[in-house]
Amino acid sequence: MGLLEGKVAIVTGAGRGIGRSHALALAREGAAVLVNDLGTSLTGAGADGGPAAVVAEEIAAAGGKAIADTGDIADWDGSKALVDRAVSEFGRLDILVNNAGITEYESIATERREGWKRVMDVNITGTAALMHWAAQYWAEQGPELGRAVINTSSPAGTNPPPGAISYVVSKAGVAALTMASAIELCHLGIRVNAVAPMARSRMSDAIPILDEAMKVPAEGLDRMDPGNISRLMLYLASPDCRFTGRIFGVDGDRIYLFESMSAETHVSNGGRAWEHGELARALAEVPQQDRAYMIAPSLHIRAGAPPADVLAAFDRIARGEPVEVWKPINIRS
């Protein structure tokens, strides 16, 4: 008997990459899976029902239970249909894996209204909408242990780099949504956690500078295999998980937990309002923060070089132009 025998799961963005890996992993452990994928491009354009259908057929061929779904999660009311369909087809819902996401490579100075809205609609509104409708269904059923929501944040959301502002903000929003909703939903027996994955995907394929880091090694652990993310997802979906409201980073076999938005430095003025000079002197004693942005395990942007140089490199990445593997360089925070 599988780890999740008799459970029912929804996985969004499940037609390719990490989402496909999640759907197959859940099915192998006995869960019935609604395989949702609108089949858009990386930036949300177009639609293609093929990827979802292929994954559902793959699960069925292996003896599992699955249905393909091409519903648009970016539509708040329309996303209800995914929950309704899972319940109608399989009789219940236990696990929601919010994996779908799109991106654009724009800075705050170059971002366009249409691109910003499209990324937010999918990455944050789509995640929140499905959680809303799943929570309503579970509230109607009453409290029951074993329910799980696994959201997808990103290393770009937990350690924001320049050059993809809408994606960064949306994924930081997913982390905050995860922490807040975990508190709101615990009384229903729902655990809400998020993963910030580093793995081979369409997004990594679109960034030439990551080509070397994403190569399959000749031997040893394939650190960028999407299956590494799915193993953690299965734990978070399983009865063995004892966490809620946590954000888990994944890089191969390395798993790390973020400690919310912790404040590491404190200054006070003994209960008196600050005068400008006093505040300036107190903060002068605080070390300046130099941010390190991880683009890949061996590729970092470090504090000190002109921001224009970094943004120019991201522009070349966005256009698909070759970029030399960077030595550690600096960008002042």
Q: Which of 167, 201, 230, 293 is catalytic?
A: 167
Angle of CA points 68, 72, 76, to nearest 5°: 130
CA distance 18 to 234: 13
Q: What is the CA radius of gyration of the chain?
A: 21
Residue 9's H or E segment, with its range, is strand 8-12
**Quick check: is 235 catalytic?**
no
215 assigned to active site: no
Whether the CB-CB separation of 236 and 191 falls below 8 Å is answered with yes
Question: How far apart are the C-alpha atoms of 111 and 8, rounded to whole Å?
Answer: 39
User: In a 3-state reduction of DSSP, which class is residue 296?
Assistant: strand
Tokens standing for 294? 């991880």
Q: Establish whether 171 is a catalytic residue.
A: yes
Which residue among 154, 166, 181, 201 is the active-site one? 154
Return the sign of the alpha-carbon dihedral for residues 85, 89, 92, 98: negative
3-state secondary structure 109-161: CCCCHHHHHHHHHHHHHHHHHHHHHHHHHHHHHCCCCCEEEEEECCHHHHCCC
Q: Are 67 and 34 in contact (CB under 8 A)?
A: yes
Catalytic position from the list 7, 79, 166, 171: 171
**Residues with catalytic function:** 154, 167, 171
